[in-house]
Structure 1
């Protein structure tokens, strides 16, 4: 029985942590998801985005966490008189294609004929 115990003990110790196996606990996953949502919300507020735009741009993020982060950053910015920071990067090629298709829809829309002046 002693040889079995000596073989079983290292296996039990290795499985007790589960972290070395790459398995995260449900609590760790929930904490990570909430932290990421708060970071997204805070970044959206700092960039001057409306909360609705933030929800639309980050559909996979937890909405409650995004709102909490947005609200915390809003309060922080008001207390410290911090202004919105406009993005300085140019759009990525993927977003350029999306904006080009949106512009094409606007171009294809019927336009009102200019009125002739009656003078």
Structure 2
């Protein structure tokens, strides 16, 4: 009887450990690599319905965010207006950086690794 209880306790402990590991994994974010000392396009905004792009702004914990309007092949249209989000890391910095983008009522977070 003691063996059965010990085996059951071991199975329960193992199950709890696996559940904890699984819940921690959902918070791990993959980081997109970007080169150091170079401007990099990290995101695009466009609107296929009416070609109106809401105001976009952003901030980075370490780097600088700018936007520029251009055209790209989107929505079956070779000259679709697009707002590019450009990231510039601090001079000489290498390591993680988090970017926050705001458009209308939505917020996006982009995880970067400067190499």
Same fold? TM cut 0.5: no
Bigger-Rg structure (1/2):
1
Q: Name whichever structure is richer in strand by fraction.
A: 2
Q: TM-score, normalised by structure 1?
A: 0.31
Q: TM-score, normalised by structure 2?
A: 0.32
**Which one has more relative contact order, counting CA pairs under 8 Å at least 6 apart?**
2
Q: Name whichever structure is richer in helix by fraction.
A: 1
